[in-house]
Chain A
Amino acid sequence: MIQLEQISKSFGKQEVLQSIDLQVKKGEVVVILGPSGSGKTTLLRCINYLEKPDAGQITIGDLKVDTKHPTKKEIHALRQQTAMVFQQYNLFKHKTALENVMEGLTIVRKMPKDKARTISIQVLEKVGLGNKLDHYPVQLSGGQQQRVGIARALALNPEVILFDEPTSALDPELVGEVLSVIRKIAKEGITMIVVTHEMDFARDVANHVVFMDGGLVVEEGTPEEIFQRPKEERTRQFLSRITPQATYSI
């Protein structure tokens, strides 16, 4: 289980996160929605300490971290329990697809090379890239790169995978292949926190939806509650503006 308590973060005078609480149960898929600048990406990046929260507490399983004064060891532990899929993929440019996935297993998990290799190939096959093992990122399409990114996270078998707008940088044609991979792994019971603008996908894959605005959680609930019967005016406004644009069907 993952628990965030009173996470706060400011950039200068701008309060980006105002004492956010969030709970994610094991195996749950939580989707965070919200307009740009609402703090959703920052919140996600606070969970693995890519962004340093000003205050608050993060609990992942047995690991409890006071984010105000974490030790290096605690930050490292947080990062070992989590994995992230980035908007810009951020694959290691000088490594092949296979090496990208193996890197975390051999270097961080200290796994023997041949075992890491076997696992990595399995995971890459799962995301449909078994035939691209030796391709460098520049030789892959955006959708393929993002699937390698997902494989890299998945191979580590983390407590939670954090998705930071995984399809926002993709051509509309390539969004589908990435979403279907995420959907597939969501069904396997992997805990995920997803920041996305894909409403259909959110509705379909989420167990729990969180709507953020202005650094606050405005409303949260099941997908039905949020999409069909939003309580807050701000949520309604946001959904009415964004829903007609979501026209991909997968």
Chain B
Amino acid sequence: MTLDPSFMWTAFLSLFKALPTTLMITFVSVICGLFIGTVVALCRIYRIPGLSQLSTAYVTFIRGTPMLMHLLIIYFGLPILIDSLAAKWEWSFTSASIPLIGFVFIAFSITAGAYMSEVVRAGIVAVDRGQIEAAHSIGMTTPQALRRIVLPQALAVSLPNLSNSVIGMLHGSTLAYTISVVEINAQALVVAANNWKYFEAYIAAAVLFWGLTLLIERGSGWLEKRLNAYHRGGVM
């Protein structure tokens, strides 16, 4: 078997067509996941009756099942749910009008939320209790104290772990090809199938993912430096 470097380059270029899809999936799931994760973490930290138990169940179930399963369950289950509700309440909205990528957004946001809630929770717990007491002492309400004082510090602490989650979601986004969403992995498959050069196409895709991952690492390193400007000292 011989390697065809020039085809690798062709494949690499054609993968860029699918780049926006991959980035969209990653971006949406990370942002929604961060939001869900923060809410879930707060429910658990403040032990809100009902919501706290629900949050724990959510986190253990989602972290206990593969990401691919979430996607498939949403893809096959959500239409049934929506259509039966639509029939009952006579909506004009049906599952057919949801674009494929919509299922990916929903499923992966749920996945990311569970993982990120643990990251955010660890970050919040790491913030010194005195910080929220000081915020209360100057008359802030708890939501103000969380938004202005606790969460920014928690975020700075969790940044390295969050960047791990982002990388995880980027790589996980390849699973979207199972429901025919053309992201980078699926695009590689398309290019390869036309030419019977799977190896080259997948190498090209791997290189592209590697590059994206490096960008995320760089970005988070830069952000970490910026957010932690106040934190000179510490162990290192």
Query: Is A156 engaged at the interface, CB distance under 8 Å to the other chain?
Result: yes
List 4 additional A-B contacts (Cβ < 8 Å) besides A50-B133, A79-B139. A76-B141, A95-B230, A104-B140, A139-B232
- CB of B131 within 8 A of CB of A93, answer yes
Query: Is B99 engaged at the interface, CB distance under 8 Å to the other chain?
Result: no
- CB of B148 within 8 A of CB of A79, answer no
Query: Is B29 engaged at the interface, CB distance under 8 Å to the other chain?
Result: no
The 4 closest A-B pairs by CB, nearest first: A104-B138, A90-B130, A90-B134, A84-B137
The docked-state distance in angstroms from the alpha carbon of A82 to that of B140 is: 12
Query: Is B212 engaged at the interface, CB distance under 8 Å to the other chain?
Result: no
- CB of A80 within 8 A of CB of B139, answer yes
The docked-state distance in angstroms from the alpha carbon of A90 to that of B139 is: 15
- CB of A107 within 8 A of CB of B136, answer no
Min CB gap B11→A, angstroms: 46
A residues contacting B by CB (< 8 A) are 48-50, 76, 79-80, 82-84, 86, 88, 90-95, 103-104, 107-109, 136-139, 152-153, 156, 162
By the criterion of a CB under 8 Å from any partner CB, how many residues of chain B are at the interface? 24
Q: Which of B221-236 contact A (CB under 8 A)?
A: 227, 229-233
B residues contacting A by CB (< 8 A) are 128, 130-131, 133-141, 144, 148-149, 152-153, 156, 227, 229-233
Which A residues touch B133, using CB under 8 A? Answer: 50, 86, 90
- CB of A108 within 8 A of CB of B138, answer yes
Which A residues touch B230, using CB under 8 A? Answer: 93-95, 136-138
Closest A residue by C-beta to B142: A72
Which B residues touch A83, using CB under 8 A? Answer: 137-139
Min CB gap A100→B, angstroms: 9
Closest A residue by C-beta to B155: A94
The docked-state distance in angstroms from the alpha carbon of A138 to that of B233 is: 8
Which A residues touch B139, using CB under 8 A? Answer: 76, 79-80, 83, 104, 108-109, 156
Which A residues touch B153, using CB under 8 A? Answer: 93-94
Which B residues touch A76, using CB under 8 A? Answer: 139, 141
- CB of A94 within 8 A of CB of B134, answer no
Min CB gap A134→B, angstroms: 11
- CB of A103 within 8 A of CB of B233, answer no
